[in-house]
Amino acid sequence: MTEVSTTTQMTEMTQKPEMNGMLSTLRAIPGLRRAWPEHRDSGSTSVSIECVDGKGRLRAGHVTAGAAPDLLPYATDPALPALSARLTGALVVHRAGRRAVVMEETRVRKIVRPHRAAALVRAHTTAASLLRVTGLRTPRILDSSDDIDDVIDLELLPGRSLDALGDTGLPAWRRLADSWAHLAHGEADLPVHGPRQEAEVLRRWCASAQRHGVIDQPALLHEQVVDTCLSLREDDGVRIIAHRDLHDGQLLWDGIELSLLDLDTAAMAEAALDLGNLWAHADLMAVRGRIGPEAHCRVRGLLDDLARALPVTAQRLETYYRSSALRLVFVHAFRPSSHQWLPVWVRHCLGHASPFMPLDLTNDWNNS
């Protein structure tokens, strides 16, 4: 055994007690839905959580390893003064101190921190205008009054997400591939998300996962992150409008129209950013069993056709795909329910993760 492999093994062994501490804490929280690293730049040891309590209500809060969760009262958040327990709809998202989403009969109400709404409305409006060429439906803003600085009301659109539709969503994937190909070059009043910004996002997620000890193989994954960040910075292709979080959960299909949600993170970026992220999520759907092998193969073919229509090289697509795939490891590492399939995805990332290589779905990680 080489000195390098011995050192790597020792590193893995020293990481496991920390990993067990945070993961055990998260697993013990009843009704846990999601968890995120808190204050990714601050070195904080707390994790933000979202769970369903014994009364079926969505609750948000924080937890540190080995401690009981500190939950906010239902539909209450000091950082979100517009959030109130006197809801007129269903609270479907609540990330403590960051945002909440209330689903009403005809609208979706996004609640953000004070003085944040105006910038999000501008980004949404600009992106919706630029995306009109694709023919995709985007939610209309119903109320953007100047005196409301922490609430955004959006049109409630019909349909089910591509993630929920699985194999039956193939017509929507075809529509997406045909529509997204119409995106053109051009400038827009949107922030730039270039290779440097993408590398920084990936680096922060990796650092958070290592700090909280929620990943296995940390040294090997860190090596992949370093290599991917270097590859990202090797080039900077033509920029077009980018959603920045394009994936199966953001797309709704009602059998007639395809709708795209959450435009408030839109930016100008390489075409490979959205396409690489979308492709990584499509592969992850297959790993999670959300789409069958035949349908997954057809989706990959559609995305390959889309790549040929966009201003993107195979090298840049592969690099952004790897960045998205690695980030998904760290995102899902904070969610204990993901650890049933996460080893397969980690193996994919530690191998030659590529949109052009076959995806190995065998779940024999622990026996290899």
User: Could you tell me the mean pLDDT of each successive run of 10 residues in the chain, 368 residues long?
Assistant: 36 40 94 86 81 97 95 96 89 96 95 93 94 96 75 96 98 98 84 96 95 94 97 87 97 98 95 98 97 97 97 96 98 95 96 90 54
| Contact in structure between 126 and 106 (CB atoms under 8 Å) | no
Rg (alpha carbons) of the chain, rounded to whole number? 21
Q: Is residue 24 part of a domain?
A: no
pLDDT in tens, 168-209: 999 999 999 999 999 877 778 899 999 999 999 999 999 999
- Which burial class, exposed, middle or buried, applies to 67 when counting CB atoms under 10 A from its CB (0-12, 13-18, 19+)? exposed
90-95 vs 151-155, strand pairing mode: unpaired
Q: Report d(CA 72, CA 355) in Å as an integer.
A: 42
Q: Is residue 134 part of a domain?
A: yes
Any idea which residue has 């893995």 for tokens? 12
Number of domains in the chain: 1
**CATH number for the domain including 326?**
3.90.1200.10
99-103 vs 90-95, strand pairing mode: antiparallel
| Contact in structure between 158 and 105 (CB atoms under 8 Å) | no
The 3-state DSSP class for residue 142 equals strand
Q: Which two tokens stand for residue 74?
A: 């239902």
Q: Is residue 71 part of a domain?
A: no
Length in residues, the chain: 368
pTM: 0.90
Q: Report d(CA 246, CA 88) in Å as an integer.
A: 29
Q: Is residue 294 part of a domain?
A: yes
Any idea which residue has 């989706």 for tokens? 299
Q: Report d(CA 69, CA 78) in Å as an integer.
A: 17
Q: Is residue 48 part of a domain?
A: no
Q: Is residue 17 part of a domain?
A: no
- pLDDT for position 3: 36
- pLDDT for position 144: 58
Q: Is residue 306 part of a domain?
A: yes
Q: Is residue 45 part of a domain?
A: no
**Alpha helices, H only, 28-70:** none
Which residues form the domain of 121? 115-367
